[in-house]
Amino acid sequence: MVDVAGGYGEGEHGTLAERVARTAAAPVPRPAVGASPARHCLVGGLPGLLVEWIRTDRGWEGRVVTVEWIDGPAGRGWAVVERCLPAAAISSLA
């Protein structure tokens, strides 16, 4: 069998089928920001509320709600902002 870049043949990591099987079987842990959703957290150093974890192709993301001061062309004042952020951008208060 010809060893072609991209996965044919058996290298030090096994065949393509073996590598796919190991990847599919490996559990993906949820980030350890809190034991359950709806936990207080920090986003960019500001307090927020982690509402839920979402598993995406890019990894875990947290749906976070924050209250922020908005000063823009439509006016200014406090606003509730909801967004999904990568797990690395969210930290625990504890």
pLDDT digits (tens, 9 = 90+) for 1-58: 444 555 455 567 677 777 666 655 444 455 555 555 678 899 988 899 999 989 889 9
What integer is the mean pLDDT of 74-80? 89
Domain ranges of the chain: 1-29, 31-92
pLDDT on residue 35:
52
pLDDT on residue 84:
95
What is the CB-side half-sphere exposure of residue 54 using CA atoms within 13 A?
Answer: 13
What integer is the mean pLDDT of 51-79? 90
Residue 9, CA distances (Å) to 5, 21, 24, 42 in order? 9, 16, 20, 47
8: three-class secondary structure by DSSP:
coil
Measured distance CA(10)–CA(94) in Å, rounded: 46
Lowest-pLDDT range of 29-43, 60-74, 76-90: 29-43
